[in-house]
Amino acid sequence: MTAGGGEIIKKLEDTTRDAARHQSETLRYILQHNGGVSYLRRYLGSYNEPVDADTFRSAVPLSRYEDYADYINKMADGVLADENDGGRPLLSVDPLTCFFYSSGTSSMKPKLIPYFDSKPAKEISAMAHQGSFANVGRLFPPRPSANKALWFLYAGNVAETKGGYKAMAATSSPLHNDPKGSSSSRLLSACVSPREVILGTDVEQQMYCHLLCGLRNSDLIHSIRAPYASGLARAFRLLEAKWERICEDLENGFPAAEIITDAVMRESVSEILSGPRPDLSNKFRAILREKSWEGIVRKLWPNVGYVRCITTGTMFQYYEKLRFYARDVPILGGDYFSSECSIALNFDVLQPPELTRYTMIPSAAYFEFLPFDMDRCCCSGSRTLDLSSVRVGEFYELIVTTYRGFYRYRLGDIVKVVGHYNSSPQVEFVMRAPKTSGDIVTERDLMSAMGGFRVVARDVMLSAEVTDFTSFFDLEAEPNRLKIFLELKDGCAQSEVEMIRTKLRKCCSRLEDDLGGIYKVMKARGEVSSLLVSIVQPGSFDSLLEMAVEKGVPATQYKPPKILRDCKLVEFLEMSAILTITADS
Ligand code: AMP
């Protein structure tokens, strides 16, 4: 680890020693700095600014994205101040640099998050990212002979708002906002893929090129990474499907034009391939032809130290498959960040997802914790606790007041407090909060029921492997009905449909039984009809990603939704269903 890395980790640890003080200083700074903005003056106008934490929490209501949408849309159109309020800045006094697209999971409509040029926010975010980097570097120091990351990044999607601001993924911003800056060049020099691939605009082609570059320089690969486990699972699926083509490209020394249609990307990859390499191609063919995917990571990348991605929350479903590909190669967990602000760090990255705890960063934002009742699946009232008052074992929705214009904002994440690191709480990521009181299954219910279903399906359905799933609660149906859509790795051949239908039925009643307390009660009361399960064509979930990316969702941050709320997407999945059964049929 570099001396700088050690210092940063120490600094971060120091902030956890006196978490309460850091929290009050953070809030004081935010209110002193931004207390006069139009949004806050609506609630704090009658107070002499700046107010204290108690006044802030009693006067300013909890808020959701919708409460900011008008302000944000105005800013995107280029209006930064409220003309009806003496020209006050809308959300922040800091200059607006650009917007981030956050992933907007269930509706797959990205949210625009304003990125104000806030010095303390930049400092803490840089410290958190560098600390995270140093923490991993301390465990797995790169060697000069193996110092590259096969990093599945897709940073090309940049839109422009009507007011002329760029809108992009938070993860892409160093590459676009400061293309010649140190963090941008650090990122690019760490990656085995060229800039043109990272900044491409076709996810499938980019993924293919990442793999091709990663194999061309396989001995240099020290880590394999993606922000989220779903991204890595998808990349390995592509490798399984396209390895022959990839080997051919290695042999030829350039990617085939019919596969990589983007000429810029093709040229840059050809440069990396630097001529025909039949030796490499033969070596990889010999390995891949075996189709023995267990432990493939080490077979292809002999010097790899680790695989890294977020494996908690809905990403947990991909963990087992990644373990299969990685075997002896450790899978390190990621941190807990959002487009709105940094939240918490994973200091113990070697822990598996079920034991992963995130340590809150007390200077990243002002945090409040809204008690969440797991049995009733809703928040208990609107009284929040501060970071020093949370209780171990309790569940909370996270509320943030950020340096960048969100005030008592419901982030929509449910966490469980599981301990403390010095005086800062450590949390487990539990799930996205239910959106409405009408939600009868939570992400967690569904994940746990599908965990059981996968095991049964593997036994009963001749080792059928579920690659992805999602659900939709149909309020138009009489009575209302839950639908679950599954994709199987090898699809379901026409000749097998009847056999699979019979076998699937056996698994579905068990699945329905596992769907959580609220579902059970409603089912018993006849308020929901039997669960409907559809198997969709292979590739349907990739199409969902493509549709989301078309709407502006950043591919790098995409999280396949577990609870769908967009009827168009549901219609699409219904159209691609190969077979559908009801749990009691
Ligand atoms: P985005 O704004 O697109 O970066 O998405 C941020 C959201 O991703 C968070 O609010 C969480 O819901 C989810 N997320 C981020 N980090 C993690 C993590 N370590 N585990 C589970 N979910 C995460």
pLDDT tens figures, 329-356? 999 999 999 999 999 999 999 999 999 9
Ligand 1 mean position, distance from CA 449 (Å) = 22
- Mean pLDDT, rounded, for 537-553: 90
Residue whose Cα lies nearest atom 4 of ligand 1: it is 338
Lowest mean pLDDT among 219-223, 517-521, 570-574: 517-521
Ligand 1 mean position, distance from CA 49 (Å) = 33
Ligand 1 mean position, distance from CA 351 (Å) = 18
Distances (CA, A) of 368 to 331, 380, 383, 410: 31, 14, 9, 9
Ligand 1 mean position, distance from CA 292 (Å) = 33
What was the pLDDT predicted at 181? Answer: 76
Backbone angles phi, psi at 250, to 5 degrees: -65, -40
Best mutation site among 154, 413, 442 for ligand 1 pocket (most ligand atoms within 8 Å of CB): 413
What was the pLDDT predicted at 461? Answer: 63
Distance (Å, whole) CA 514 – CA 529: 15
CA torsion angle for 515, 520, 526, 530 (degrees, to 10)? 20
Matching residue, tokens 């487009």: 339
- Please identify, by atom number, the ligand 1 atom nearest to the C-alpha of residue 227: 16
Ligand 1 mean position, distance from CA 242 (Å) = 30
- Please identify, by atom number, the ligand 1 atom nearest to the C-alpha of residue 104: 3
User: What average pLDDT does the chain have?
Assistant: 92
291's enclosing H/E stretch is none
What was the pLDDT predicted at 104? Answer: 66
Ligand 1 mean position, distance from CA 158 (Å) = 20
105 has a pLDDT exceeding 70: no
pLDDT interval class at 157 (50, 70, 90): confident
Best mutation site among 336, 357, 360 for ligand 1 pocket (most ligand atoms within 8 Å of CB): 336
Ligand 1 mean position, distance from CA 179 (Å) = 25
Q: Count Cβ neighbours within 10 Å for each residue of 406-435 and write b for 16 or more, e otherwise.
A: bbbbbbbbbbbbbebbebbbbbbbbbbbbe
Q: Is 535 helix (H, G, I), strand (E, B) or coil?
A: strand
pLDDT interval class at 4 (50, 70, 90): low
Q: What percent of the chain has pLDDT over 90?
A: 74
Residue whose Cα lies nearest atom 18 of ligand 1: it is 336
Q: Which residue has the higher pLDDT, 456 or 484?
A: 484
Residue whose Cα lies nearest atom 23 of ligand 1: it is 336
Ligand 1 mean position, distance from CA 525 (Å) = 36
Contacts of 120 (CB under 8 A, 6+ apart): 26, 29, 363, 403
Backbone angles phi, psi at 228, to 5 degrees: -125, 150
Ligand 1 mean position, distance from CA 559 (Å) = 9
- Please identify, by atom number, the ligand 1 atom nearest to the C-alpha of residue 557: 3
What was the pLDDT predicted at 90? Answer: 97
pLDDT interval class at 463 (50, 70, 90): low
| Angle at 270 (CA atoms; ends 268, 274), nearest 5 degrees | 120
Q: Which residues line ligand 1 (CB under 6 A)?
A: 102-103, 170, 310, 312-313, 334, 336-339, 411, 413, 429, 432, 557
Residue whose Cα lies nearest atom 22 of ligand 1: it is 313
- Please identify, by atom number, the ligand 1 atom nearest to the C-alpha of residue 310: 19
Distances (CA, A) of 129 to 12, 27, 54: 11, 22, 31
Distance (Å, whole) CA 503 – CA 110: 38
Residue whose Cα lies nearest atom 9 of ligand 1: it is 338
Q: Count Cβ neighbours within 10 Å for each residue of 298-312 and write b for 16 or more, e otherwise.
A: ebbbeebbbbbbbbb
What was the pLDDT predicted at 55? Answer: 95
Q: What percent of the chain has pLDDT over 70?
A: 97
Q: Is 238 helix (H, G, I), strand (E, B) or coil?
A: helix
- Mean pLDDT, rounded, for 211-229: 97
Ligand 1 mean position, distance from CA 236 (Å) = 22
- Supply the pTM of this predicted model: 0.94
Distance (Å, whole) CA 161 – CA 98: 9
What was the pLDDT predicted at 539? Answer: 93
CA 118 to chain centre: 24
- Output the six-digit token pair for 319: 């963990």
- Mean pLDDT, rounded, for 135-139: 93
Distance, first Cα to last Cα, the chain:
60
- Output the six-digit token pair for 66: 């919708």
Distances (CA, A) of 269 to 191, 212, 214: 13, 8, 11
Q: Count Cβ neighbours within 10 Å for each residue of 45-62 and write b for 16 or more, e otherwise.
A: eeeeebbebeebbebbeb
Closest CA to 485 of 543, 546, 536: 536
Best mutation site among 157, 312, 338 for ligand 1 pocket (most ligand atoms within 8 Å of CB): 338
Matching residue, tokens 């399906």: 457
Contacts of 189 (CB under 8 A, 6+ apart): none
Ligand 1 mean position, distance from CA 198 (Å) = 21
- Please identify, by atom number, the ligand 1 atom nearest to the C-alpha of residue 432: 12
Contacts of 287 (CB under 8 A, 6+ apart): 296, 299, 300
Rg (CA), the chain: 24
- Mean pLDDT, rounded, for 158-177: 89
Ligand 1 mean position, distance from CA 573 (Å) = 25
Per the CB < 8 A criterion, the answer to whether 263 and 346 are in contact is: no
Sign of CA dihedral 180, 184, 189, 193: negative
Residue whose Cα lies nearest atom 6 of ligand 1: it is 338
Distance (Å, whole) CA 251 – CA 233: 26
